[in-house]
Amino acid sequence: MNDPLVKNGEELLTTGTAAEGEITSAPETALDPGATPEETPIISLRKVSKTYNAGTAKEVKVLKGINLDIYPGEVVVLVGPSGCGKSTLLRSMNLIAPPDTGSITFKGKTWSNSQIDFFDFKARKAEAQALAQWRMSMGMVFQSFNLFPHKTVLQNAMIGPLRARNINRDQAERLARAGLKKVGMDQKADFFPSALSGGQKQRVAIARALAMEPDVMLFDEATSALDPELRIDILEEMKQLAAEGMTMIVVTHELAFAREVGSRVIFMESGQIAEDGPAKETIDNPTHPRFIEFLRALHH
Ligand SMILES: Nc1ncnc2c1ncn2[C@@H]1O[C@H](COP(=O)(O)OP(=O)(O)OP(=O)(O)O)[C@@H](O)[C@H]1O
Ligand SMILES: [Mg+2]
């Protein structure tokens, strides 16, 4: 990786606390031999907790012992009041902001927060590679698009694939162009982000994640910075991805999208999962008093 710009890209894509932890492959026996592939979760969280500023006056317990299984092909809509921990949960899952305690299993590999010896460079290198692989397989799209202004659309979409080992420039370009084509941005490959609308920038951000051929896509309020017409555009793009079978976790306030496209809805409150059920039925008949209140407030 000699390209200094790509190195910057790495830094941008992996902002947040450096993970100290351990990723281990699951023993074969961990899988229920009777389970079909559909019945095996692609992501499992067990007792995941995270506290910011622990031990100080500013201490906030953000995630409080989350247990969660996500199955392949699910479109999970994550809702809840501001500050309840939705973004932190997504950032914990892809280990940008690793949990303090608990474990996360993703595609048969388990991460847990055991400290790696700082001077064990071999272990640290292996860990960094495992982390990069983990994050690439979980594409993330944020509210702010985070595109590099000095790079073209194509170069922005190539950042991810170029970071992967064993991928040369031609292959990276092919993956990037495939991602751009998928979101209808292949005609704009040579444009700079400043020449694009907000909706187009967000399409490029989605293409950049798709270029890494992820198994899961995480969307954190991907449409909330956009004007209404552009918002519908991006929601359509997300609907298309869902229809193709992509596993998705979507933080959004768009209830119509949640009911129509979501297979499951999770209502979070104060760092815990308060309600979890089939999207349409649960939104139409919520049971948790805080969820009822939350939905009522959204309707007004
Ligand atoms: N890096 C950080 N340092 C300290 N506190 C943080 C940090 N990131 C988040 N928090 C705190 O953790 C809590 C949960 O934040 P988070 O961003 O996960 O909430 P959210 O549900 O995504 O809210 P919103 O709907 O407003 O986006 C908040 O109280 C927030 O202030
Ligand atoms: Mg948030």
pLDDT digits (tens, 9 = 90+) for 51-69: 999 999 999 999 999 999 9
194 pLDDT band (50/70/90 cuts)? very high
198-210 vs 228-243: helix axis angle to the nearest 10? 20
Name the least confident of 93-107, 124-138, 148-162: 124-138
Q: Please count the other Cβ atoms lying within 10 Å of the Cβ belonging to residue 281.
A: 11
- Pocket test residue of 49, 60, 294 for ligand 1, highest count of atoms within 8 A of CB: 60
Shortest CA distance to 214 belongs to which of 109, 141, 152, 144? 141
- Per mean pLDDT, which of 15-29, 152-166, 191-205 is the most reliable? 191-205
Which pLDDT score is estimated for 150?
Answer: 97
Taken in order 133, 139, 144, 150, is the CA torsion positive or negative?
positive
Q: Is the distance from CB of 131 to CB of 95 less than 8 angstroms? A: yes
Among all bound ligands, the one having the nearest atom to the CA of 78 is 1
Name the least confident of 33-37, 57-61, 229-233: 33-37
Which pLDDT score is estimated for 24?
Answer: 73
CATH fold group of domain 4-299: Rossmann fold (3.40.50)
Q: Is the pLDDT of residue 26 over 70?
A: no
Which pLDDT score is estimated for 203?
Answer: 94
Q: Is the pLDDT of residue 20 over 60?
A: no
- Cα 53 to chain centroid distance, Å, stands at 24
Which pLDDT score is estimated for 13?
Answer: 37
Q: Is the distance from CB of 242 to CB of 261 less than 8 angstroms? A: yes
Which pLDDT score is estimated for 299?
Answer: 79
Tell me, in angstroms, the distance from the centre of ligand 2 to residue 189's CA. 30
Sequential DSSP letters for the chain: ---HHHHHHHHHHT-SPPP--EEEEPPGGGS-TT--GGGS-SEEEEEEEEEESTTSTT-EEEEEEEEEEE-TT-EEEEE-STTSSHHHHHHHHTTSS--SEEEEEETTEEEE-PPPPTT-HHHHHHHHHHHHHHHHTEEEE-SS----TTS-HHHHHHHHHHHSTT--HHHHHHHHHHHHHHTT-GGGTT--GGGS-HHHHHHHHHHHHHTT--SEEEEESTTTTS-HHHHHHHHHHHHHHHHTT-EEEEE---HHHHHHH-SEEEEEETTEEEEEEEHHHHHHS--SHHHHHHHHHHH-
Q: Which atom of ligand 1 approaches the CA of 268 most closely?
A: 21
The CB of 78 under 6 Å from ligand 1? The reply is: no
Q: Is the pLDDT of residue 94 over 70?
A: yes
Which pLDDT score is estimated for 36?
Answer: 53
Which pLDDT score is estimated for 127?
Answer: 83
Q: Is the pLDDT of residue 14 over 80?
A: no
Average pLDDT score over the chain: 87
Q: Is the pLDDT of residue 134 over 80?
A: yes
Which pLDDT score is estimated for 102?
Answer: 95
Q: Is the pLDDT of residue 166 over 80?
A: no
The CB of 88 under 6 Å from ligand 1? The reply is: yes
Q: How many residues in the chain? A: 300
Q: Is the distance from CB of 262 to CB of 219 less than 8 angstroms? A: no
Which pLDDT score is estimated for 122?
Answer: 83
Taken in order 165, 171, 176, 178, is the CA torsion positive or negative?
negative
- Pocket test residue of 48, 51, 52 for ligand 1, highest count of atoms within 8 A of CB: 52
- What's the pLDDT tens digit per position in 246-287? 999 999 999 999 999 999 999 999 999 999 999 999 999 999
